Amino acid sequence: MSAAPRPVIIAGNWKMNSTPADAGALAAEIAKRTDVDGVVRVVCPPFVCLFAVRDALEGSGVEVGAQNVHAEPAGAYTGEISGQMLAGLATWVIVGHSERRRDQNESDSLIARKILRCAENGLRPILCVGEDLSERIAGRAEKTVREQLESTLEELARDGSSLPGDVVIAYEPVWAIGTGRTARGADAAAMAEVIRSALLGGGFENAAAVPVLYGGSVTSATIGEFLDEPSIDGALVGGASLKVDEMAGIVARAGLTAQARRAAAG
């Protein structure tokens, strides 16, 4: 019998969309339409919608994630949300998303501290890494992603810590998000191997078991190309995660991958 396959995960990042008035109904409808065996489903609404989404998803099997967490446990950080505040509202957190790296100038050092806060509060991190267009054109894509991971691991080590064993990595080719450019399954698969190699080189012995998601404007029409790659374990879905039909299609295709992996593992 083969080793247990990595889980297939579909996480929806709603970004700055929905309100407490409509988020619960949207989450409940997504849960109903995506009830597929073998797929881990996560919905990540805005902070103000966490209560509504958590309550709407109770008993559905769909898990709740937050889109960010502050790097400090508490303090004078107006407008920020701590890990302790999220505990009980969410069980996952997106960390280091490309938009926060770009717009809030988040560094690998800061992101590492956010991962520490996740571990302290029982929150499973989805750590995002990826290169921008200039880096890909210059042939530095793999170097960029490797350095992001190495810097994060080094910062954690300085604190006497390491990546939590339940970490998930989302590869975001920034140049393919909302630009009209398209990444291919082979691009994502190659980067997944770089990611696991960097983790192993950084002392994370369980690197082969770390799920790697694709996060580049995926839709129900494109998800298959990525899930056909054995090294890709799902997707971090952006705009399509707000559309019930799109999520239903994405999760249905993910279910086929999960089924095939279980059969192959015996």
Q: What count of Cα atoms within 13 Å lies in the side-chain half-sphere of residue 207? A: 16
Beta partners for 95? 127
Is 96 domain-assigned?
Answer: yes
Residue 229 scores a pLDDT above 80: yes
Is 131 domain-assigned?
Answer: yes
Is 203 domain-assigned?
Answer: yes
Which long-range contacts (C-beta less than 8 Å, at least 24 apart) are formed by 3-7?
Answer: 3/265, 4/265, 5/261, 5/262, 5/264, 5/265, 6/209, 6/210, 6/211, 6/233, 6/261, 7/40, 7/211, 7/233, 7/234, 7/258
- Measured CA to CA, the distance from residue 108 to residue 244 in angstroms comes to 34
Residue 220: which CATH number?
3.20.20.70
Is 3 domain-assigned?
Answer: no
- Measured CA to CA, the distance from residue 101 to residue 137 in angstroms comes to 20
Is 1 domain-assigned?
Answer: no
Is 98 domain-assigned?
Answer: yes
Q: Across the chain, what does the average pLDDT equal?
A: 96
Residues 236, 13: contact at Cβ < 8 Å? yes
* Stretch 149-168: mean pLDDT: 95
- 244-262 pLDDT, tens digit per residue, is 999 999 999 999 999 999 9
Is 37 domain-assigned?
Answer: yes
* Stretch 128-135: mean pLDDT: 95
Residue identified by tokens 């894509």 is 141
Is 55 domain-assigned?
Answer: yes
Residue identified by tokens 């691009």 is 187
Structure tokens at 132: 């921008």
Entry pTM:
0.97
Percent of the chain residues topping a pLDDT of 90: 93
Task: Look up residue 17 and give its amino acid.
Answer: N
Percent of the chain residues topping a pLDDT of 70: 99
- Burial string for 73-91 (b: 16+ CB within 10 Å, else e) reads eeeeeeeebbbebbeebbb
Domain that holds residue 170: 8-265
User: Where in the sequence numbering do the catalytic residues fall?
Assistant: 97, 172
The number of distinct structural domains making up the chain is 1
> What's the gap between Cα 175 and its chain centre?
17
Residue identified by tokens 């579909």 is 10
